[in-house]
Amino acid sequence: MIKNVKSWLVCALVLVLAALGIVGGTIAYIDPYFHYHKPQPNLYYELDNQRSQNDGIIKRFDYDGMIIGTSMSENFKTSEAEELFGGTFIKVPFAGGTYKEQNENIANAIAANPNLKTVIRPLDYAYIIDEPDRIRDDLGDYPEYLYDNNPFNDVNYIFNKEILFDICLPMIQKSIAGAPAGITSFDDYSNWMDEATFGAKAVLGDRTEFAPAPYKVPFVDEIKANVYANITENVTDIAKANPDIDFYYYLTPYSAAWWGAQNEKGEVQRWIESERYAISLMLECDNIHLYSFNNEYDITTNLDNYRDECHHGDWVNSQILAWMYSGTDQLTLENYNEYIEVEMMYYLTFDYNSLLEQK
């Protein structure tokens, strides 16, 4: 009787281990999050999970250029970047990611890929005055087991039933059915154009007026300290440490409606002075090629370019790539103060209520 029980337990253990081996081996072989290797050549990989897949893309793919950023970067096309700048680009957006989150992933790319030569990154204007350690924990947790070097917590990945049944098995079924192998193109990855509605109605909603500024919020020392820490820790330090990499950065051109909302709160001057200080810090780095397109008024005042106060269409992303390649609107030590003064005058005096006529 005891021998039978022992035999049964041994058989059960063997079956459990065999099942776990099949599950873990299947997920590790397919590796939909690229935790262990590049895509298998006989399968098709859908890129649809930024926080789970981007780390693997950064660490496992072959590239010498990268586009990284928040949702403001999602409509970039790597094919256009490659045509202009040369090389092979990946696109790894982190929607809503702060300067710290973006910088940490650039650091991961540099550590994993000695061939990295070019980084293209929008610097979200509304994040300039963030505290340097801010993380968007309201967007969900990062799957840390994919980011760290601890092999033991990989059990969360290779024994994950959702990954097995919802991702891996359908990939196998499609391959058996003869579906072509490959991967979502980086032009299409995270691109949200098909789901967007553009124009004044989408941007302004039920707004009926822009109220005048009640007062001007000053650029105080506390804000200046935030800008200094945020920019040095999350933008310039990594550029100074990697002088052979070219960083093409630009301050995101939000719509005039966004500026109107800031004007109502009396914060236009504070934002622009924060920008001025941030620019002065970034221009200390010869390998940061810095741009701002806030004075491209044909874009910022035409609400047909926007889906909301901040997010513009992919045609603007394409134009930005071309402008950065040609040097249009590049900021330098010689011209940035003049740029700031023009920007300040424009957005402090613009007739924001004229935007309502576009509805």
For domain 61-138+185-358, which CATH number applies: 3.40.50.1110, 3.30.420.40, 3.30.9.10, 1.10.287.3510? 3.40.50.1110
The SS3 of residue 199 is: coil
Tens-digit pLDDT string for the chain (359 aa): 555 555 555 455 545 444 545 667 899 999 999 999 999 999 999 999 999 999 999 999 999 999 999 999 999 999 999 999 999 999 999 999 999 999 999 999 999 999 999 999 999 999 999 999 998 877 777 788 999 889 889 999 988 999 999 999 999 999 999 999 999 999 999 999 999 999 999 999 999 999 998 889 999 999 999 999 999 999 999 999 999 999 999 999 999 999 999 999 999 999 999 999 999 999 999 999 999 999 999 999 999 999 999 999 999 999 999 999 999 999 999 999 999 999 999 999 999 999 999 99
pLDDT of 5: 53
Contact at 8 Å (CB) between 73 and 123?
no
Residue pLDDT, tens place only, 200-217 = 999 999 999 999 988 899
| Helices 268-282, 256-264: crossing angle, 10 deg rounding | 120
Dump the DSSP string for 127-159.
GTTS-TT---GGG----HHHHSS-SGGGHHHHT
CA dihedral 28, 30, 33, 35 (to 10 degrees): 40
**Paired strand residues for 109:** none
Give the pLDDT of residue 60: 97
The strand pairing partners of 120, in sequence order, are 67, 248
pTM: 0.94
Give the pLDDT score at 138: 75
Q: What are the residue ranges spanned by the domains of the chain? A: 61-138+185-358
pLDDT value for 141: 73
Q: Residue 6: what pLDDT? A: 58
Torsions phi, psi for 345 (to 5 deg)? -60, -40
